[in-house]
Amino acid sequence: MRPSVVRVFIAVSVLALCLSGVALGVSLSRSNSPVTTAVQVPNLLGRRQVVATGILGGLGLRYRVVTLLFGNPSIVAGTVVAEDPQSGSWVQRGHTITLNIYP
């Protein structure tokens, strides 16, 4: 192989490794700053508020609770009915997740 082809191959390989690291939730940063880790927002719908906030805290996430004004009689009080960002989203540790709770 010619030297220029080898350099292109190495550059493409390094780029692929970097992109796979980002996909795993590891953000690359300058050498003098810490590497931060992303976490996936769990599905908290239907869980009690105390359980949901415990899960978020365990993942290093903050939370904000919004208690809705009107409840639904078929839903147990204190149950998560919506979350923002949605479950499955990737966020950095320390990000605030909003939980909507039925009264």
Contacts of 80 (CB under 8 A, 6+ apart): 44, 45, 46, 47, 48, 49, 52, 99, 100, 101
Tokens of 31: 């050498």
Query: 32 and 44: one domain?
Result: no
pTM, 2 dp: 0.64
Spatial CA neighbour of 17 closest among 9, 59, 94: 9
Do both 74 and 103 map to the same domain?
yes
Range of the domain at 2: 1-36
Tell me the pLDDT tens digit for each residue of 48-96.
999 999 999 999 999 999 999 887 888 899 999 999 999 999 999 999 9
pLDDT band at 98, cuts 50/70/90?
very high
Do residues 58 and 97 both lie within one domain?
Answer: yes
What is the DSSP-derived secondary structure letter of residue 92?
Answer: E
